[in-house]
Chain A
Amino acid sequence: MSTSVLTPEPVPVPQPAPAMRQRQWTVLLRGTLRQWRARIGLTLFLAMVLIALVGPAIAPSSPTAFVTAPNASASLHGPFGGDSLGRDVWSRFLNGGRSVLGMSLAATIIGVGLGLVIGLTAAYRKGWVDEVLMRISDVFMAFPQIVLALLLVTAFGPSVGLIILIVGISHAPRVARVIRGAAQQVVERDFVKAAEAVGEPRSRIIFSELLPNVISPLMVEFGLRLTYSIGLIAALNFIGDGIQPPASDWGLMINENRLAVAFQPWGVVLPVIAIALLTIGTNLLTDGFARAVIGLERGE
């Protein structure tokens, strides 16, 4: 067999395999769902989401209709009695998930998105840009999230939009820190220098070279921040700074029915359990995903 030297034979490339993006996600997902924590988490999360979404359709009565006596016990009005004003607890519970979930998701998307941009920019630009962005973040982080929220609500009055914005913004510096840390390692890799050498625009380097390489920590952050958002937003609604009566909301329900908790506990117990399961579920699922990411990086 004589091989001409000037026209080298093509080097055979390995057998066609599914594209990596798809393959890696499958591996990650499988790695996540192999763990019990993630399976339990997913079940809880999906169950709560299902209640929030389908609940209003299957509620026996309107959440704002007065159908029984105030604080009617479960034996008087089924299945869970009436609330402090005589509305059906079960119906209010089924209707109360959407607002918590919707607000939490919106706040998380805002917070993680903002944090992502800040973190990537700080990691890529380094120097004074990094300093300024991180010091501003530090100032924000110095305020406890809830105190910041209370302060602003007191100043501007309760509003759903404001709550979402405040919770989102208070997440941003925390997300930025994590993403900056992850991106700092990516920035040093040669493919970024290669893009630099051919004069790729900075925004393209940030969003098309760096971003795809921090997707895994970003997903973990999203799950974690969603957990915190649920807790924080439920708490703000409980205090009365968010959703206003007579709307039904899990956080608000706890507040409305807390005085009667001794003899009509359902009005408090149902939303408490729901919020707890939702946070625990989200957290377990995120944790499972984070472990799968680490496993993948270790090459397991």
Chain B
Amino acid sequence: MAVTEQTSAVSVRDLKIDLVLTGADIVDQIVLEVHPGEVLGLVGESGSGKTTVGMALMGYTRPGGRVTGGEILIDGQLLSAMSTGELRRLRGGTVSYIPQDPGTALNPALRIGLQLSEMLDVHTPGTSEDERQARVRETLDEVALPSDDAFLRRYPHQLSGGQQQRVAIAMAFACRPHVIVCDEPTTGLDVTTQARVLETIRDLCHSHRVAAVYVSHDLAVVAELADQVAVMYSGRIVERGPREVIFSQARHPYTRRLLRAVPDLEGKRAVVGIGGRAPLPGDRPEGCFFAPRCDLAVAQCHEQFPGPTTFEAGHIVHCYRAEDAPNELPTTGSLAPPAEVGDAVLAVENLNGLYGSKQVLFDIDVLVRRNECVALVGESGSGKTTLARCIAGLHSSYTGDIKLGGERLAESARRRSREARKQIQYVFQNPYASLNPRRTVGQTIARQLQLFYSVSRREAAQRVSDLLERVALSSAAANRYPDQLSGGERQRVAIARALAAEPSLMVCDEITSALDVSVQAAIVELLRDLRIQTGLSMLFITHNLALIRTIADRVVVMTEGRIVESGDTLEVFTAPRADYTRKLLANTPTIEAALQRGTPVAASPGAPATP
């Protein structure tokens, strides 16, 4: 026991955090062990409690939560025994934190140099100004940022998102921490930037022998980075073990389903969503929390939460069916069959778009044919959303032609014919903002029907419930307000609203990017089914290359307002012509590629496999 305490940098035993108000637990039975130089990936979907656990490692619980059981040891020191002052020295010193959004974590009024040296000032008192300056430059070098005076004098807003995140990483590593907690630090970044940031974190952790806890919902990123992986579901760790084991021989049905939901760049399999939703604290079922959504559940699963079962190589699973799970046939999905494309539905010709006085779109040509799904892919700032908004009539400062069935459309939606507005339907990225919170789902969809068809109240109600069924929601959802639905359900409502108009083209603007992978997979399945059933054409805008592979017939790649490549999906993925496409493909993290590459680093930490 004493040996373990010395070798592990982070040791969490039976941690339990409750909601103060109701006493329901947010997380419970959390057991973690991270050794110096090791990266632990803490994976879970939104609401699984992963951030709560990550924060607890710094001795912090969000308002409304309270640690009520178990212990956390950092470097063998018990957090609960520390005074406020000791905790303050611990944070940023021994344990540091890389936030999700560096834009809000850096003080916009302070220069980069000052922010970094301030950090050292607090945690390494007694050093001279020169020593601190030297240390600041060294840290910036480590994260591959310039360390000259000009850079130190910059303000955060003068840096790009990736640079800001690297400054945040530099701040986290500046005081030579022993433990570092990363809360989805690459979520807001483009794949190219993400790849570089991940590399930086990985190298620093291993060269300084820092124990890292990497909290993320992105399995592919975790596969790239982590040595050990712990999977959380509804406030419990359901499975943990070495990276290879979790990604190739997972035993918990939830982990297995989650992996099936991750889109595959290779395009060998279709994504399969997980039905239902994760229970919230205070609303969890008896027995295993995943049982209601689990295909393998037996009677025992509904009685008591399963205890840990240990398999070889420190692989621990909380499941009664862990022995059999790998033998069960995986739920398979099918890839969209090659579509029988028809005539052109939408043609964008020679479009040049302005944003204010700046040109953001250059000579764009896009063609979408009947029953075809065209993916528009590009990183942030590539102009893909502006293009989509031009098509939907929401952005009218452009020149060039947008033709619907051969007829040129007016620039703004208001000046287009009712028929044109009906034919093109736009589904927004964020389902939390695209539905009026003060209207029921039924009212929202019924209004769409009224706009385009003369329907009686009765007919409308009937069509609303048909539409809800088509997007796999129960018709009872019509009486709900958006805040009573989950993100995935809201996005289904937004799709139902678009379908209500019976459009010929649906423009989907990053419609899954705000959703969890299992929900994303379910939405992708839904869109595929809708296409098969109705012959709908789609313009699918995304930054997620892997997703395109499972949904699109053709791909258009954009960067800096220009189309650099377009062609059949298979062709673009297997034989990309443009350098940019090649770079994008190479930087997209995938589980398969990460596993093939072997251990994330050469020097694997000396983590003894605990029996």
Contact = CB atoms under 8 A, between A and B. Distances in A.
Interface of A: 1, 3, 5-6, 8-14, 16-17, 19-21, 189-191, 193-194, 196-200, 209, 212-213, 215
14 contacts: A12-B474, A13-B474, A13-B476, A13-B480, A13-B485, A189-B433, A193-B394, A194-B434, A197-B394, A198-B452, A199-B418, A199-B451, A200-B451, A213-B438
Q: Which of B333, B476, B484 has the most CB atoms of chain A within a 10 A radius of its CB?
A: B484
B258 to A, nearest CB: 17
A13 B529 contact: no
Interface of B: 272, 275-277, 295, 331-334, 392-394, 413-414, 416, 418, 421-422, 425-426, 428-430, 433-440, 447-448, 451-452, 469, 472-474, 476-477, 479-481, 483-485, 488-489, 492, 497, 501, 522, 525-526, 529, 532
A3 B332 CA distance: 10
Contacts, number: 112
B525 A190 contact: no
A16 B476 contact: yes
A196 B413 contact: yes
Contacts of B488: 11
B436 A198 contact: no
Contacts of B479: 16, 19
B483 A194 contact: no
A199 B414 contact: yes
Contact of B477 (A3, A13, A212): A13
A27 to B, nearest CB: 12
A273 to B, nearest CB: 41
Contacts of A14: 480, 484-485
A199 B448 contact: no
B529 A6 contact: yes
Contacts of B483: 20
Nearest to B501: A198
Given A190-B434, A191-B436, 16 more contacts: A5-B334, A8-B522, A9-B472, A10-B473, A11-B276, A11-B277, A11-B522, A12-B276, A12-B474, A13-B485, A14-B480, A198-B425, A198-B451, A198-B452, A209-B436, A213-B437
Given A8-B275, A19-B479, A213-B437, A199 B413 contact: yes
Given A5-B334, A17-B484, A11 B476 contact: no
B202 to A, nearest CB: 36
B439 A212 contact: yes
Given A8-B526, A196-B414, A197-B413, A191 B435 contact: yes
A114 B477 CA distance: 37
B532 A6 contact: yes
**3 closest Cβ pairs, A-B complex:** A20-B481, A212-B438, A190-B434
Q: Which of A19, A189, A191, A209 has the most CB atoms of chain B within a 10 A radius of its CB?
A: A191
A110 B480 CA distance: 34
Q: Which of A11, A12, A197 has the most CB atoms of chain B within a 10 A radius of its CB?
A: A11
A19 B437 CA distance: 12
A20 B276 contact: no
Q: Which of B295, B437, B497, B522 has the most CB atoms of chain A within a 10 A radius of its CB?
A: B437
